[in-house]
A = this chain, B = another copy of it.
Amino acid sequence: MSFASDNWSGASPAVLAAVSTAFSGDDAPAYGTDPQTAEAKAAISDVFERDVAVFFLGSGTAANGLAIAHLTRPWGAVFCHSASHVNASECGGPEFFSGAKLIGIEGEAGKITPDSLASALGGLRIGDPHSVQPGTLSLTNLTEAGTAYSVGEVSALSDLARSYGMAVHMDGARFANAVARLKCTPAELTWKAGVDALSFGATKNGAIAAEAVVFFDKAKAAEFEFRRMRGGHLLSKHRFVSVQYTAWLKDGHWLALAGHANAMADRLAGGLRARGIQLAWPVEGNEVFPILPHDLEARLKAQGYQFHRWSGPSPAVPNASVCRLVASFKTRAGDVDAFLAALDRAAQTIAAE
Chain A residues in the interface with B (C-beta under 8 A) = 2, 4-5, 7-11, 13, 16, 19-20, 22-31, 57-66, 73-75, 88-93, 95-97, 99-102, 122-123, 129-133, 203-204, 208-209, 223, 225-237, 240, 312, 328, 330
Chain B nearest CB from A272 CB (Å) reads 21
Of the candidates B131, B226, B232, which one forms a contact with A233 in the assembled complex, judged by CB atoms under 8 Å apart?
B232
B residues in contact with A91, CB < 8 Å: 75, 129-132, 226, 229-230
Are B13 and A27 in contact, with the CB atoms below 8 A? no
The answer for the CA separation of A203 and B64 in the assembled complex, in Å, is 25
Most chain B beta-carbon neighbours within 10 Å: one of A92, A232, A234, A330: A232
Are A61 and B232 in contact, with the CB atoms below 8 A? yes
Q: A7-B30, A16-B23, A66-B232 are in contact. List 5 more A-B contacts (CB 8 A).
A: A57-B232, A58-B209, A93-B229, A133-B226, A209-B235
Tally of this chain's copies: 4
- Among residues of B, the one whose C-beta sits closest to the C-beta of A27 is B8
B residues in contact with A240, CB < 8 Å: 208-209
Most chain B beta-carbon neighbours within 10 Å: one of A31, A233, A236: A236
Are A129 and B228 in contact, with the CB atoms below 8 A? yes
B residues in contact with A59, CB < 8 Å: 58, 232-236
Chain B nearest CB from A240 CB (Å) reads 5
The answer for the CA separation of A231 and B65 in the assembled complex, in Å, is 8
Are B130 and A89 in contact, with the CB atoms below 8 A? yes
Of the candidates B5, B28, B74, which one forms a contact with A96 in the assembled complex, judged by CB atoms under 8 Å apart?
B74
30 contacts between A and B (CB under 8 A): A4-B30, A8-B28, A10-B24, A10-B25, A11-B23, A13-B24, A16-B23, A31-B130, A61-B232, A63-B232, A74-B227, A75-B92, A90-B130, A90-B229, A90-B232, A91-B129, A91-B132, A91-B226, A91-B229, A92-B101, A96-B231, A101-B102, A129-B228, A130-B229, A132-B226, A208-B237, A208-B240, A209-B209, A209-B236, A231-B232
Chain B nearest CB from A210 CB (Å) reads 10
Of the candidates B24, B62, B99, which one forms a contact with A11 in the assembled complex, judged by CB atoms under 8 Å apart?
B24
Are A20 and B30 in contact, with the CB atoms below 8 A? no
The answer for the CA separation of A28 and B306 in the assembled complex, in Å, is 11
The answer for the CA separation of A286 and B72 in the assembled complex, in Å, is 38
B residues in contact with A233, CB < 8 Å: 59, 62, 232
Are A88 and B131 in contact, with the CB atoms below 8 A? yes
- Among residues of B, the one whose C-beta sits closest to the C-beta of A204 is B236
Most chain B beta-carbon neighbours within 10 Å: one of A60, A74, A230: A230
Of the candidates B20, B73, B88, which one forms a contact with A20 in the assembled complex, judged by CB atoms under 8 Å apart?
B20
